[in-house]
Amino acid sequence: MVIGDKGQVMQIRQASTADLPRIMMINRLCLPENYTYYFFDSILQSYPKTFLVAEVNGEIVGYVMCRVEHGLSKLDRLNMKRLGHIISIAVLPDHRRMGIATALLKRALEVLKEEYKCSEAFLEVRVSNHPAISLYQKLGLAIVRISKGYYIDGEDAYVMAKRL
Ligand code: ACO
């Protein structure tokens, strides 16, 4: 059991294959960036420890999924690093502003560092997505650059990163 920073009682646990249909439903309801079942399942099989769900009263209300990449640091130019890529996070509308995304992300960042030995975490976010940008800043991620036309509709992304 986890008590969120607003007193919300929730469970944060690793996702299982059986959870994928509900995770996909939440993803489609909350975000325009949707993925195939195969993509969700391949992330779950490869990086199960950072594919997390939040449950309230036994129902999944949010998820985060990440993968580990070896690539150029977003913060220290020209350094190759093990990077934790936060691919997608969402919380159902009725459960927002209760600290659920904060709890999911905090746990994912800890696991990326401790279990997957990443020295940096990063993500892309739409430049118009102020709630998410504010969430990430609160957790110590900083905007490091703009990725022009990153999204399929042409919107730019901020790349945000944090040392772990
Ligand atoms: N307006 C302004 N700031 C906000 C908002 C908002 N609507 N929502 C969250 N925040 C910021 C605030 O700083 C907040 O702290 P506060 O409540 O003390 O002011 C902080 O984020 C933490 O909020 P949480 O309650 O932990 O976040 P929540 O559980 O509501 O989830 C999320 C936030 C995931 C962005 C949710 O709004 C959502 O699912 N949005 C749609 C999907 C989405 O945009 N996902 C991110 C896309 S980018 C990516 O996936 C890598």
The CATH number assigned to the domain holding 89 equals: 3.40.630.30
Q: Cβ neighbours of residue 113 under 8 Å, at least 6 residues apart?
A: 84, 119, 164
Residue ranges of the alpha helices (H) in 12-161? 20-30, 37-46, 100-114, 130-138
pLDDT at residue 89, as a whole number: 98
Q: Please give the single-letter amino acid code of residue 155.
A: E
pLDDT at 9 over 90: no
How many domains are contained in the chain? 1
Q: How far is the CA of 54 from the centre of ligand 1 (A)?
A: 14
Alpha carbon 135 to its chain's center: 11
Mutate to test the pocket of ligand 1, among 24, 30, 61, 134 (most ligand atoms within 8 A of CB): 134
Q: Measured between alpha carbons, how far is 146 from 116 in angstroms, rounded to an integer?
A: 27
27 backbone dihedrals φ, ψ, rounded to 5°: -60, -45
Q: Please give the single-letter amino acid code of residue 72.
A: L
pLDDT classification of 2: cutoffs 50, 70, 90: confident
pLDDT at 111 over 80: yes
- Specify the residue with its C-alpha closest to ligand 1, atom 48: 125
Decide: pTM greater than 0.75.
Answer: yes
Q: Which residue range is the domain that position 153 belongs to?
A: 2-163
pLDDT at residue 77, as a whole number: 79
CA-132 nearest atom, ligand 1: 35
Q: Cβ neighbours of residue 107 under 8 Å, at least 6 residues apart?
A: 12, 52
Q: How far is the CA of 131 from the centre of ligand 1 (A)?
A: 5
Residue 102 in tokens: 């904060």
Q: Cβ neighbours of residue 145 under 8 Å, at least 6 residues apart?
A: 74, 158, 159
CB atoms within 10 A of CB 143: 14
